[in-house]
Amino acid sequence: MTIEHESVPRPGRPGAGSRWLGTELLDRPNRPTLSRTRSNAQLGRWNRRGLGLRAALPAGLLVVDLLAVAAGSVCCAVDPSRPFADAAMVLPVLLPLNLAAGLYRTRMTPSALDELPTLLGRAAVALAFAVTLAACLPASCLPALRLPAPWPIGGPAGGVRLLVLLGVLVLSALLGRTALYGLLRRSHRRRPMPVLLLGAGALGQRIAAALRERAEYGMRPVGFLDPDPVRLPADSPVPVLGGRAMLVRAVRRYGVRRVLVTAESTDDQETVATLRAAVRLGCQVWLVPGLREHGGLAAGLRGGIDHLWGYPCLRLPRPAMRRPGWAAKRALDVLAAGTGLLLLSPVLAVCALAVRLDTGPGVLFRQQRTGLDGQVFTLLKFRTLRPANEHESATHWNIAQDERMSRIGRLLRRSSLDELPQLWNVLRGDMTLVGPRPERPYFVMRFSKTDREYADRHRVPVGLTGLAQVNGLRGDTSIEDRARFDNRYIESWSLWQDVKILLRTAALMLRPDGS
Q: What is the pLDDT of residue 491?
A: 87
C-alpha gyration radius of the chain: 28
Phi, psi of 83 (to 5 degrees): -70, -20
Of 168, 93, 173, 164, nearest to 125 (Cα)?
A: 93
Question: Residue 140: pLDDT above 80?
Answer: no
Percentage of the chain lying above the pLDDT 90 cut: 28
Pair 313, 108: CB distance under 8 Å: yes
Instruction: Report the C-alpha gap between 26 and 150 in whole angstroms.
Output: 57
Question: Residue 57: pLDDT above 70?
Answer: yes
Q: What is the pLDDT of residue 335?
A: 94
Q: What is the pLDDT of residue 463?
A: 93
Neighbouring C-beta atoms of residue 85, cutoff 10 Å:
20
Pair 451, 312: CB distance under 8 Å: no
Instruction: Report the C-alpha gap between 305 and 265 in whole angstroms.
Output: 23
DSSP string for residues in 9-26: PPTTSBPTTHHHHTSTTS
Secondary structure letter of residue 368 according to DSSP: E
Mean pLDDT of 229-255: 82
Neighbouring C-beta atoms of residue 147, cutoff 10 Å:
21
Classify 438 as helix, strand or coil: coil
Instruction: Report the C-alpha gap between 337 and 428 in whole angstroms.
Output: 9
Mean per-residue pLDDT over the chain, rounded: 78
The tally of CA atoms less than 13 A away on the side-chain side of residue 97 is 18
Mean pLDDT of 42-49: 45
Question: Residue 3: pLDDT above 60?
Answer: no
Neighbouring C-beta atoms of residue 354, cutoff 10 Å:
18
Parallel, antiparallel, or unpaired for β 193-198 and 258-261? Answer: parallel
Of 256, 259, 318, 317, nearest to 286 (Cα)?
A: 259
Split at pLDDT 50, 70, 90, the class of 318 is confident
Lowest-pLDDT choice from 31-35, 129-133, 427-431, 455-459: 31-35
Q: What is the pLDDT of residue 215?
A: 86
Instruction: Report the C-alpha gap between 372 and 429 in whole angstroms.
Output: 10
Q: What is the pLDDT of residue 100?
A: 85
300 or 308: which leads in pLDDT: 308
Q: How many angstroms from the chain centroid is the CA of residue 98?
A: 20
Q: What is the pLDDT of residue 21?
A: 38
Q: What is the pLDDT of residue 17?
A: 41
Q: What is the pLDDT of residue 267?
A: 57
Sign, Cα dihedral of 488, 491, 496, 502: positive
134's enclosing H/E stretch is helix 112-136
Pair 380, 424: CB distance under 8 Å: yes
Longest dimension (CA), the chain: 85
The identity of residue 363, as a single letter, is V
Question: Residue 243: pLDDT above 50?
Answer: yes
Of 197, 247, 193, 169, nearest to 56 (Cα)?
A: 193
Instruction: Report the C-alpha gap between 498 and 509 in whole angstroms.
Output: 17
Question: Residue 420: pLDDT above 60?
Answer: yes
511 or 98: which leads in pLDDT: 98
The tally of CA atoms less than 13 A away on the side-chain side of residue 206 is 13
Mean pLDDT of 31-46: 40
Number of H helices and E strands in the chain, helices first, is: 19, 11
Instruction: Report the C-alpha gap between 123 and 283 in whole angstroms.
Output: 32
Phi-psi region of 43 (alpha: psi -120 to 50; beta: other; left: phi over 0): alpha
Classify 272 as helix, strand or coil: helix
98 or 400: which leads in pLDDT: 98
The tally of CA atoms less than 13 A away on the side-chain side of residue 381 is 19
Classify 444 as helix, strand or coil: helix
Pair 404, 385: CB distance under 8 Å: yes
270 or 339: which leads in pLDDT: 339
Q: What is the pLDDT of residue 45?
A: 44
Lowest-pLDDT choice from 120-134, 395-409, 433-447, 488-502: 395-409
Split at pLDDT 50, 70, 90, the class of 7 is very low
Neighbouring C-beta atoms of residue 508, cutoff 10 Å:
16
Neighbouring C-beta atoms of residue 107, cutoff 10 Å:
20
Pair 196, 248: CB distance under 8 Å: no
Pair 466, 489: CB distance under 8 Å: yes
Split at pLDDT 50, 70, 90, the class of 380 is very high
Instruction: Report the C-alpha gap between 262 and 274 in whole angstroms.
Output: 12
Classify 291 as helix, strand or coil: coil
3-state DSSP of 184-195? HHHHHHHCCEEE
Query: pTM for the complete prediction?
Result: 0.70
